[in-house]
Amino acid sequence: MDIRLLDLLVCPICKGSLQFDREAQELICPRDKLAYPVRDGIPLMLVDLARDMTLPAPSPEAPAAARACNADAAA
Ligand SMILES: [Zn+2]
């Protein structure tokens, strides 16, 4: 992603400046604890797509509810 673009990007919620996480390819709003995805170098500044950083990351140790959901899909 063009790093200069970062200067132009602000959080759509709080209008604050964002931090680019190069490894995760996410634009992070520290205030709202939201991470906006960057796909193919294009920042997707949509609240619907933003990841809530206060929630634990998904892990293979999924809760029982998630496994039940998968079972339903397979059936
Ligand atoms: Zn924000």
Give the dihedral sign, CA 13/15/17/23.
positive
CA of 54 to the centre of ligand 1 (A): 13
On whether the pTM is more than 0.75, the answer is no
What CATH number is given for 3-74 in this structure?
A: 2.20.25.10
pLDDT at 54: 94
CA of 59 to the centre of ligand 1 (A): 26
pLDDT at 2: 61
Residue 55 in this model has a pLDDT that exceeds 70? yes
Beta bridge partners of 36: 27
Domain ranges of the chain: 3-74
Residue 43's pLDDT band (boundaries 50, 70, 90)?
very high
pLDDT at 65: 60
Residue 65: both structure tokens together: 């509810």
CA of 25 to the centre of ligand 1 (A): 17
CA of 52 to the centre of ligand 1 (A): 11
Residue 68 — left, alpha, or beta (φ > 0 → left; ψ -120 to 50 → alpha)?
alpha
Mean pLDDT across the stretch 28-47?
94
Residue 41 in this model has a pLDDT that exceeds 80? yes
